[in-house]
């Protein structure tokens, strides 16, 4: 076997195509767009290169055929905030061969060790943890956009190599054809109409206002959490620009108390229902194909990616009131039949409770693993978030980011 660092266009193509080979007979797999994956490894597109570095490889067999891939990265803003300096590995794909898998893990490990790391998390992303984060271990069904899909045998590879579960990630599904539980509905309606509280959805016309409101809420909600770092406004602006043809303005909500922003909620159409037809390509014809399916209302699912509530208002039931408003929106868009609530960590029982209170059913489980290079050091899982510090967030990003 031969490890090859990805440095030229042919190797980039090999890195992308091996995933198509691994999942060619799996009807659940929606191949991410090639430009999206390449953008993660492009310093001009990924702001995490401002405070980090990344490298990726493909693995060839004796005949020169590509049989696997992996990437490794260091986020210097986070790496040294743990008991041991921690990097990350991700974008792992491999044929069903343990020797090949371990060769890939060894490669990422050595690269990280040579840069002073003593542990690696995986599989994770070189970016925010709402995308490409965690290993699917239960719920082998079509995934929401951004949620990774994997082969079942990957779990054995990670655990036999020495990775241990750092935290579990749960995705809940909400059947929008069924009414919310009556008790939840009464509480949500009461909060939604309480004096001093107002709710409004995002508009592109006033996008900069909402970006600033989101940043204010985000920074206030997570400033006391471990590993917190303020959100970069330009990252949010880029997400808004990139999503302009996809975003439903009424799927993004903000709550205010006496005019001050106190909570936000972001839900996106699940474009995986279209991407599954495109095999990761995004050329001229595939763009036309995408727009065709988009106009035909092919998308029947949405995914809640993030919620945030300022600490002072975290026990007011504000998130319930947002669901109350969202339910009215969904009734005007009956082609949406299902909402994925993803993801919530096992370290955040408050959010688990909220998801279950609205009628969500746990459908998928991903694991984020950590591998300590020195097996004699004590392993610690992500701690449960104390009640007074719990942000209401679909994925609790930043709290648990060990490597982005």
Q: Are residues 142 and 46 in the same domain?
A: yes
Beta carbons of 120 and 110 less than 8 angstroms apart: no
Give the span between the Cα atoms of 364 and 317, in whole angstroms.
Answer: 26
pLDDT at 403: 34
Q: How confident is the model at residue 65 (pLDDT cuts 50, 70, 90)?
A: very high
CB atoms under 10 Å from CB of 77, counted, come to 15
Dihedrals phi, psi of 167, to nearest 5 degrees: -160, 160
With vertex at residue 121, the alpha carbon angle to CA 132 and CA 387, rounded to the nearest 5 degrees, is: 85
Residue 161 burial (10 A CB sphere; 0-12, 13-18, 19+): middle
For residue 231, the model assigns a pLDDT of: 80
CB 270 within 8 Å of CB 216: no
pLDDT at residue 322 greater than cutoff 60: yes
Full residue range of the structural domain in which residue 286 is found: 174-366+383-389
Q: Are residues 227 and 303 in the same domain?
A: yes
Q: What is the pTM of this model?
A: 0.89
**pLDDT for residue 40 is more than 50:** yes
Q: How many CB atoms lie within 10 A of CB 5?
A: 12
Q: Are residues 145 and 239 in the same domain?
A: no
- Domain identity same for 258 and 326: yes
CA 233 – CA 248 distance, rounded (Å): 21
In a domain, 373, yes or no: no
- Kind of pairing, strands 260-269 and 52-60? unpaired
286 found inside a domain = yes
400 occurs within a structural domain: no
Report the range of poorest mean pLDDT among 36-45, 252-261, 318-327, 372-381: 318-327
Most confident of 162-176, 218-232, 340-354, 389-403: 162-176
Cα–Cα distance for residue pair 283/281, rounded to 1 Å: 6
So what's the pLDDT on residue 27? 95
- Is 404 within the bounds of a domain? no
187 and 118 in a single domain? The answer is no
Torsion of CA 173, 176, 177, 179, to 10 degrees: 100
**What integer pLDDT is reported at residue 273 of this predicted model?**
95
The answer to whether residues 129 and 203 belong to one domain is no
For the chain, the C-alpha Rg in angstroms (whole number) is 21
Cβ partners under 8 Å of residue 18, min gap 6 = 58, 66, 67, 68, 69, 93
Last residue of a domain, one of 148, 168, 188: 168
Mean pLDDT across the stretch 13-20? Answer: 98
Check whether 216 has a pLDDT greater than 50.
yes
Quote the CA–CA distance of 77 and 371 in Å, as a whole number.
20
β 338-345/301-309 pair status: parallel
Instruction: Give residue 398's pLDDT band: very low, low, confident or very high (50, 70, 90).
Output: very low
Domain co-membership, 286 together with 144: no
Domain end, chosen from 168, 201, 231, is at 168
Per-residue pLDDT, 265? 93
H or E stretch at 132: none
Q: Give me the pLDDT at residue 225, please.
A: 63
Residue 56 maps to which CATH number?
3.40.630.30
**Tens digit of each residue's pLDDT (9 = 90 or more) over 188-199:** 888 888 899 999
Q: Residue 298: inside a domain, yes or no?
A: yes
Residue 183 lies in a domain: yes
Domain count for the chain, please give it.
2
- pLDDT above 70 covers a percentage of the chain that reads 94
Any residues with CB less than 8 A from the CB of 90 and at least 6 apart, and which? 70, 71, 73, 122, 123, 124, 125, 126, 132
Instruction: Share the mean pLDDT of the chain.
Output: 90
Residue at a domain's end among 133, 168, 203: 168
> Is 71 within a domain?
yes
155 & 181 share domain: no
- Above 80 in pLDDT, residue 227? no
Does residue 92 share a domain with residue 206? no
Return all residues near 168 (Cβ < 8 A) that are at least 6 apart: 345, 346, 365, 366, 367, 368
Please indicate, yes or no, whether residues 135 and 189 belong to a single structural domain of this protein: no
Q: Is residue 378 part of a domain?
A: no
115 or 183: which leads in pLDDT: 115
Identify whether residues 141 and 239 lie together within a single domain: no
Q: Check whether residue 22 and residue 48 sit in a common domain.
A: yes
Taking the C-alpha atoms of residue 218 and residue 100, their distance in angstroms, rounded to an integer, is: 41
């Amino acid at each position: 076997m031969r490890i090859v660092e990805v440095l030229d266009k042919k190797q980039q193509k090999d890195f992308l195509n091996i995933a198509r080979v691994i999942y060619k007979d799996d009807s659940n797999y929606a191949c991410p767009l090639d430009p999206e994956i390449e953008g993660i490894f492009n310093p001009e597109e990924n702001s995490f290169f401002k405070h980090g570095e990344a490298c990726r490889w493909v693995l060839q067999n004796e005949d020169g055929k590509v049989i696997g891939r992996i990437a490794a990265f260091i986020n210097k803003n986070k790496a040294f905030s743990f008991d041991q300096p921690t990097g990350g590995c991700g974008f792992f794909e491999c044929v069903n061969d343990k020797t090949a898998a371990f060769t890939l893990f060894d490669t990422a490990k050595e690269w990280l060790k040579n840069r002073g790391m003593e542990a690696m998390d995986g599989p994770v992303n070189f970016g925010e943890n709402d995308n490409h984060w965690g290993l699917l271990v239960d719920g082998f069904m079509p995934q929401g956009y951004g949620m990774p899909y994997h082969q079942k045998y990957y779990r054995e590879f990670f655990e036999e190599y020495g990775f241990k579960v750092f935290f579990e990630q749960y995705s809940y599904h909400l059947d929008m054809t069924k009414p919310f539980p009556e008790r939840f509905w009464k509480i949500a309606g009461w909060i939604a109409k309480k004096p001093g509280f107002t709710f409004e959805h995002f508009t592109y016309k006033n996008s900069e206002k909402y970006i600033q409101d989101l940043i204010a809420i985000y920074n206030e909600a997570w400033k006391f959490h471990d590993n917190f770092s303020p959100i970069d406004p330009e990252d949010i602006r880029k997400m808004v620009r990139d999503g302009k043809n996809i975003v439903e303005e009424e799927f993004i909500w903000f709550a205010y108390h006496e005019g001050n922003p106190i909570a936000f909620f972001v839900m996106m159409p699940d474009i995986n229902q279209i991407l599954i037809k495109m095999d990761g390509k995004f050329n001229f014809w595939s763009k036309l194909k995408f727009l065709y399916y988009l106009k035909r209302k092919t998308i029947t699912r949405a995914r809640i990616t993030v919620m945030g509530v300022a600490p002072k208002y975290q026990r007011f039931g504000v998130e319930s009131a947002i669901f109350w408003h969202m339910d009215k929106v969904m009734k005007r868009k009956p082609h949406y039949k299902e909402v994925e609530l993803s993801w919530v960590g096992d370290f955040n029982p408050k959010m688990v409770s909220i998801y279950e209170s609205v009628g969500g059913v746990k459908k998928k489980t991903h694991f984020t693993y950590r591998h300590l290079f020195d097996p004699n050091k004590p392993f610690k899982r992500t701690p449960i978030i104390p009640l007074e510090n719990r942000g209401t967030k679909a994925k609790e990003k930043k709290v648990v980011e060990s490597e982005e």
